[in-house]
Amino acid sequence: MIASSNPSNLPLFLVLTISMVIGLLMVIVFRYTSDQKAIGRAKDRLKAHLLAVRLFQDQLPVVMRAYGKILRGTGSYLRLAFTPFLIAILPITFLIVQLDRYFGWVPLQPAQTFLVEARIEDPTALNDASLQLPPELSSSAPAVHIPTDREVVWRLVADRAGQFDIQIAAAGQTVSKQVMVAPGLARVSPLRLKGNFWERIFASGEPALADNSPVQSIEISYPPRVIGFAGMDWNWIVLFFLVSLIAGFIFKSALGIQV
Amino acid sequence: MTLPSCQRSRFGRSLILLLVVGLVLLVPLRSEAYAGPGAGFAVLSSFWTIFVAFLYSFYALVTWPLRQLLRIFRRRKAYGKAQVKRVVIVGFDGMDPELASRFMSEGKLPNLSKLRDSGTFRPLRTTFPAISPVAWSTFQTGVNPGKHNIYDFLARDLKNYLPFLSSAQISEPKRHLRIGKYSLPLGKSGVKGLRKGTPFWHWLGKAGVFCSVIRVPVTFPPEKFPGVLLSGMCVPDLKGSQGTFCFCTTRASSDKFREGGVRIPMERNGAGLHSYIPGPENPLGTGVDLRAEFRLRPDVGRGRARIEIDSETFTVKVGEYSEWIPVKFKAGMGFTARGICRFYLKEISPEVEVYVTPVNIDPAHPDLPISHPVTYSIYLAKLFGPYATLGLAEDTWALNEEVLDDQAFLAQCYGNHQDREHMFFDALEKTPQGLCACVFDTTDRVQHMFWRYLDKDHPAVRDVPQDQKPRVIQDLYDRMDTLIGRVMQQINTETLLLVISDHGFKSFNRCMNLNAWLHQNGYLVLKDGKSESGDWFEDVDWSRTRAYTMGLNGLYINVRGREREGIVEAGAEAEALKEELRGKLDGLVDPASGKVGISGMFDCDAVYAGPYVDNAPDLIVGYGEGFRASWDSVMGRVTTEIFEDNLKAWSGDHCVDPRLVPGVLFSNRKIAIEKPAIVDVAPTVMKLFGLELPSYFDGKPWAVAAAGGK
């Protein structure tokens, strides 16, 4: 797998900014979609049972009862946090999907070779599959046919930056796929699919292939983006998770919100 | 089949919930693994909680055998000769044996009657004087006041004749750093307990007997011992006083409250009003009291008001209390004092009046230690919510000053009482073996303030027809009986239950200003031209004064070399003066009523023995039934009248001849003793757990029957 860091600090800056904003927004959403008093009470009771374990440690039955109450209290607390969790999960998920188009992958660079994999529905049409390229793209190797996987793989290279469409013809039909060649941050769709609504929502940024299309999917091998931060390489979602969590923690304390 | 509409909507909600959960679980891509900080916190903190709990429990389990061995070793001392598995002591401050007998004979108090019939009921001899801090100190130490050094709420400073709290002393940090106008304290305020002696639960704890002690008076500051303890009477408020309420009002008045409260003007500002709660003195040495400002927006139509203080906003109705509200007093440079208080909306139109309770130390963030370990008060606050921590949490002054009415005062009392019950029953559950002791103050406060309805001749309610007097004290005893019933349900025959009180109660009809008597009889002399003095002997000529009184029952000789301006020689002269005063005061008759105002004068050299006798008053005044020291006399003020009617709500008292106000002793077991005393409780409990008694104990252990009556 190719792993390259974008030399620009823009993705890092954007991820940190978005994470902090989302952290703030989410604690505010949590504030208005949760029963703050009940959450406060549940957390207080949990702390009380924890203290009970310490205070009455010489009395094993008391400690065991307190532990049981901690487990029950944790269940109550999670149940109270579940409603805001449900309300937040859909918009956040779709937001993350959209952000993933930008931060999940690095666009291709001019002169950088990349692979195009097309999966064909009918194995007999595999040998007839052909690729039509715009002038800015060229093939750097003959196509490789993998009958067991019903796949054809091409190795291509771009002359210059831009958004291009490549055409794949098979069984008398032609379908297209976007290819993004850009030096910085750009919206990237690594996959085009037919059907599979939910997979398409989460993995593809292009319209579905027609139901009667002989091509099942087309995938471009964009390198995954790795963001350098604090001396480490980060997947953007992990960084987003951590930074928004920290930001949320700071904002919740500042705003007096029970989470 | 059709479903009712509510079931359909519930079914619909369940379906949507299932659908969303299904989507989340069935489409497991990386992007939805995280759904915002809320869920992140919930999941992380839940796991963290379970992890910490697991660590604690693991530690408890792993070290359990070792601790069990230690306990077995200790138990040889503690439980080896123990006659009981557990002792539960329920203290009802001021429960009166005569009144309890009367109610029981009327067929009331079924649970206490059951204890009387199957176990024990006796009057319990109290201390000299019969005052709660004195009696409860004797209860916990098993010694007379000469050995524990508590003789009253107040003690006098020999250097200046001014009072100080007898039980604890709060001192400023010793060192300060001066920065401009600020004086930055280096270090924390110190709290020093002045009660001497060792509480018996320290002996029990050292021997391996676990003890839970809740709100026993004079346990502030809390002392370290192997058990848990929440301090009671004598815990100060955030101002360091024994309770200073605040009355915010739009009514103009220059009157000051006699004691216990401050009147704060409330100013209109558009549709709202603003005022403040006075707090402690600024710790940065600016000499100014801190304030917590609040705004109030009345809603006259709905009979309520919205109050904003700090980040808290809440609504309170007329005639109701708010919850406990956290308040912060910001001193600058990061110094903040935190407390809690409750607001009571007294009136909303045409004037606005709000009573605010004294600002209590916040039990969840105590600025001063109020429990041992410190986490115990936090544990209780987390488990049950904020609660009153002030020693005298029931605001008798506010009722006395008519800031609160009867109902508002009772609501406050029973609110605090309910919190105390929660704590007590939790302690009972957490102490399956050992000692569980809790003192309930409500009995004392309610009897102080409502005895007037029980006494048909009380001057404070002469105009109220007898059939219209509320049955407050009867209800109080009923409630305490119900509490005992709940305790009895939770204990078995291996538990000894002791229900005790530190003293009883009598009516307080007539006030006596003993300083006025001393003045009129030439023992106390005022400066030339003065016929009265201000508080704390403001115009007293000490160079000609031979005796004075302050506090509730103490009478002092102005001894040369002891008091700053003493004139009576110690020894024969002082002894002769004491005898002279005893002779004149013992049996003193109130000319207006013809009743005996003082039924006993007790020489402290005769009633006390121990290393701290020198700090005691010289004589203890035993007021007769119906009499008590006037508030002026307590505060060192000389008036022209010696005897006066008591027209205040504070209408019952116990600061009389101690022989008139014994406490109660109930038990679920037979106790073979005719005249038990409160000083006997400590040795009795220690003996029941098989411990040897320290030789300095003044009390004697009772013969308690084994379970089953043998």
**What are A188's two structure tokens?**
């990237």
Predicted confidence (pLDDT) at residue B30 exceeds the cutoff of 50: no
| 3-state SS assignment for residue B218 | coil
pLDDT digits (tens, 9 = 90+) for B149-201: 999 999 999 999 999 999 998 877 777 777 776 777 777 778 899 999 999 99
Please tell me which of the candidates A48, A81, A248 has its beta carbon nearest to residue B382: A48
Compute how many other C-beta atoms are within 10 angstroms of the C-beta atom of residue B38: 29
A62–B32 C-beta distance less than 8 A: no
| Euclidean distance between the first and the last CA atom of chain B, given in angstroms as a whole number | 69
User: What is the structure's pLDDT at B95?
Assistant: 98
In sign, the C-alpha dihedral spanning B331, B336, B341, B344 is positive
The neighbouring-strand residues paired with B343 are: B356
Angstroms from A209 CA to nearest CA on chain B: 21
Chain B residues in contact with A78 by the CB 8 A cut-off are: 42-43, 46
φ/ψ of B182, rounded to 5, equals: -90, 150
Angstroms from A178 CA to nearest CA on chain B: 23
For A86, the closest chain B residue by CA position comes to B20
Question: Domain of B607?
Answer: 508-660
Q: How confident is the model at residue B34 (pLDDT cuts 50, 70, 90)?
A: very low
Angstroms from B36 CA to nearest CA on chain A: 6
Chain B residues in contact with A249 by the CB 8 A cut-off are: 37, 41
User: What is the structure's pLDDT at B26?
Assistant: 42
A93–B50 C-beta distance less than 8 A: no
Q: Which of B14, B34, B423 to mutate to test the interface with A (most CBs of A within 10 A)?
A: B34
- Please calculate the CA angle B362-B363-B364 and round it to the nearest 5 degrees: 90
Q: Does B57 touch chain A (CB under 8 A)?
A: yes
Q: Does A237 touch chain B (CB under 8 A)?
A: yes
Q: What stretch of H or E contains B313?
A: strand B312-317
The neighbouring-strand residues paired with A69 are: none
Q: Which residues have CB under 8 Å from B319's CB, separation 6+?
A: B345, B346, B407, B408
User: What is the structure's pLDDT at B709?
Assistant: 62
Tell me the count of A-B CB pairs closer than 8 A: 168
Nearest by Cα to A153 from A190, A124, A123, A126: A126
Predicted confidence (pLDDT) at residue B706 exceeds the cutoff of 80: yes
Predicted confidence (pLDDT) at residue B99 exceeds the cutoff of 50: yes
Q: Is A229 exposed, middle or buried (0-12, 13-18, 19+ CB in 10 A)?
A: middle
B49–A74 C-beta distance less than 8 A: yes
One domain, residues B681 and B653:
no
A44–B29 C-beta distance less than 8 A: no
One domain, residues B558 and B617:
yes
Contact B567, B545 (CB under 8 A): yes
For B18, the closest chain A residue by CA position comes to A86
User: What is the structure's pLDDT at B538?
Assistant: 94
pLDDT digits (tens, 9 = 90+) for A177-229: 999 999 889 999 999 998 777 777 777 888 889 888 999 999 999 999 999 99
B56–A46 C-beta distance less than 8 A: no
Angstroms from B371 CA to nearest CA on chain A: 12
| Percent of all residues in chain B with a pLDDT value above 70, rounded to a whole number | 89
B375–A55 C-beta distance less than 8 A: yes
Contact B183, B176 (CB under 8 A): yes
Query: Where do the domains of chain A lie?
Result: 4-105+227-255, 113-222
User: What is the structure's pLDDT at B56?
Assistant: 65
Q: Does B276 touch chain A (CB under 8 A)?
A: no
Predicted confidence (pLDDT) at residue B407 exceeds the cutoff of 90: yes
Instruction: Report A:130-169 residues touching B (Cβ under 8 A).
Output: none
User: What is the structure's pLDDT at B81?
Assistant: 81
Q: Which of A18, A20, A51, A83 to mutate to test the interface with B (most CBs of B within 10 A)?
A: A51
Evaluate if pTM is beyond 0.90.
Answer: no
- Please calculate the CA angle B273-B276-B281 and round it to the nearest 5 degrees: 165
Chain A residues in contact with B228 by the CB 8 A cut-off are: 55-56
| Percent of all residues in chain A with a pLDDT value above 70, rounded to a whole number | 97
pLDDT digits (tens, 9 = 90+) for B376-386: 999 999 999 99
One domain, residues B142 and B204:
yes
| Euclidean distance between the first and the last CA atom of chain A, given in angstroms as a whole number | 39
Domain end position, chosen among B367, B399, B416: B367
For B19, the closest chain A residue by CA position comes to A86
Angstroms from A47 CA to nearest CA on chain B: 7
Angstroms from B417 CA to nearest CA on chain A: 21
Q: Does A19 touch chain B (CB under 8 A)?
A: no
Chain A residues in contact with B27 by the CB 8 A cut-off are: 198, 202
What letter would DSSP give residue A8? S
Q: How confident is the model at residue A1 (pLDDT cuts 50, 70, 90)?
A: very low
Which of 3.30.70, 2.40.30, 1.20.144, 2.60.40 would CATH assign to domain A113-222?
A: 2.60.40
Nearest by Cα to B199 from B209, B190, B191: B209
Angstroms from A212 CA to nearest CA on chain B: 25
Angstroms from A154 CA to nearest CA on chain B: 28
> Residue B519 falls within a domain, yes or no?
yes
Which of A57-66, B246-255, B309-318, B660-669 has the highest mean predicted lDDT (pLDDT)?
B660-669
Angstroms from A197 CA to nearest CA on chain B: 11
User: What is the structure's pLDDT at B10?
Assistant: 47
Please tell me which of the candidates B35, B43, B59 has its beta carbon nearest to residue A89: B35
Average pLDDT, whole number, for chain B? 90
B44–A81 C-beta distance less than 8 A: no
User: What is the structure's pLDDT at A113?
Assistant: 95
| Percent of all residues in chain B with a pLDDT value above 90, rounded to a whole number | 76
Q: Does A74 touch chain B (CB under 8 A)?
A: yes
pLDDT digits (tens, 9 = 90+) for B357-374: 999 999 999 989 999 999
Domain end position, chosen among B644, B660, B676: B660
Contact B302, B290 (CB under 8 A): no
Q: Which residues have CB under 8 Å from B245's CB, separation 6+?
A: B260, B261, B262, B355, B356, B357, B358, B395, B397, B398, B403
Contact B312, B306 (CB under 8 A): no
φ/ψ of A229, rounded to 5, equals: -155, 130
Instruction: Report B:669-688 residues touching A (Cβ under 8 A).
Output: none
Q: Does B313 touch chain A (CB under 8 A)?
A: no
For B455-459, what is the mean pLDDT?
A: 91
User: What is the structure's pLDDT at B270?
Assistant: 86
Least confident of B209-223, B252-266, B417-431: B252-266
Please tell me which of the candidates B34, B45, B429 has its beta carbon nearest to residue A241: B34
One domain, residues B479 and B519:
no
CATH code of B137's domain: 3.40.720.10
What ipTM, to 2 d.p.?
0.84
Chain A residues in contact with B214 by the CB 8 A cut-off are: none
> Residue B54 falls within a domain, yes or no?
no
Please tell me which of the candidates B39, B375, B379 has its beta carbon nearest to residue A88: B39
Angstroms from B113 CA to nearest CA on chain A: 33
pLDDT digits (tens, 9 = 90+) for B671-696: 999 999 999 999 999 999 999 999 99
One domain, residues B426 and B461:
yes
One domain, residues B644 and B686:
no
Nearest by Cα to B345 from B285, B302, B381: B302
pLDDT digits (tens, 9 = 90+) for B511-521: 999 999 999 99
Q: Does B328 touch chain A (CB under 8 A)?
A: no
Instruction: Report B:63-82 residues touching A (Cβ under 8 A).
Output: 64, 67, 71
Instruction: Report A:44-73 residues touching B (Cβ under 8 A).
Output: 44-64, 66-67, 70-71, 73
Q: How many Å apart are CA B151 and CA B409, to the nearest integer?
A: 29
For B590-599, what is the mean pLDDT?
A: 96
Chain B residues in contact with A53 by the CB 8 A cut-off are: 53, 56-57, 60
User: What is the structure's pLDDT at B440?
Assistant: 98
For B522-543, what is the mean pLDDT?
A: 95
B37–A30 C-beta distance less than 8 A: yes
Look at A132 and A253; give whichever has higher pLDDT: A132
One domain, residues B622 and B495:
no
| 3-state SS assignment for residue B517 | helix
Angstroms from B12 CA to nearest CA on chain A: 16
Predicted confidence (pLDDT) at residue B557 exceeds the cutoff of 80: yes
One domain, residues B313 and B244:
yes
Count of structural domains within chain B? 3
One domain, residues B636 and B683:
no
User: What is the structure's pLDDT at B620?
Assistant: 97
